[in-house]
């Protein structure tokens, strides 16, 4: 390299040009595949019935949603009388009730919050940045919204209402990962 500096400079220039082409090509592939990857992630992390994210999304994405060094809360919401409604009016009515729950739950949350179908008839809400008082107020609002759902359209029964239980765990006070937070919130 020292003996032939002009030739060395041309070789380095060609090498850098080749590397730049490969980087542009790779970037093009990534850009081209991004919508596909996003769609695949949505299919993997989405609940088909309600359109909400699912439990896997919670476990995989909670750290990025809370942020390093951040705070927040996780609510687990369970409609107490869902099994009775499902048994009395059938699975189609139960599915309609689950969809209603998802709509009303989302309406009670802030734009930055994430509603999830935790599994079966359990739902969750991830509240990044929420302090204790804000999370408790959101839980009260969500509980009231769910109790206020008119189930007549889903079940045909007048005056039927959902009762619900909500557990809350606070990040990082009750744990550093979503599994620990969910276990703490479910125990309440």
Phi, psi of 14 (to 5 degrees): -65, -40
Question: What does the block give as tokens for 115?
Answer: 């509603």
Torsion 21-22-24-28 (CA) sign:
positive
**Out of 47, 113, 121, 177, which one is annotated catalytic?**
121
By CB atoms closer than 10 A (0-12, 13-18, 19+), residue 78 is middle
- Distance (Å, whole) CA 1 – CA 51: 61
Q: Is 177 tagged catalytic? A: no
Q: Are 54 and 45 contacting, i.e. CB atoms less than 8 angstroms apart? A: yes
Q: What is the number of H-type helices and E-type strands within the chain?
A: 7, 5
**Residues forming the active site:** 121
């Amino acid at each position: 390299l020292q003996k032939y500096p002009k030739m060395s400079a041309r070789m380095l220039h060609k090498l850098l040009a080749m590397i730049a082409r490969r980087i542009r090509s790779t970037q093009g592939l990534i850009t081209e595949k991004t919508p596909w990857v996003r769609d695949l992630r949505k299919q993997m992390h989405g609940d088909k019935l309600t359109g909400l994210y699912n439990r896997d999304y919670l476990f995989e994405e909670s750290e990025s949603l809370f942020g390093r060094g951040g705070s927040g809360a996780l609510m687990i919401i369970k409609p107490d009388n869902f099994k009775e409604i499902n048994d009395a009016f059938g699975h189609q009515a139960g599915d309609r009730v689950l969809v209603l729950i998802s709509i009303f739950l989302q309406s009670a949350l802030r734009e930055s919050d994430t509603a999830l179908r935790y599994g079966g008839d359990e739902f969750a809400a991830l509240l990044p940045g929420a302090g204790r008082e804000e999370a408790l107020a959101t839980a009260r609002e969500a509980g009231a919204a769910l109790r206020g759902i008119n189930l007549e359209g889903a079940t045909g029964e007048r005056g039927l209402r959902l009762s619900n239980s909500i557990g809350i765990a606070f990040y990082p006070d009750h744990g550093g990962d979503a599994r620990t937070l969910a276990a703490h919130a479910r125990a309440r």
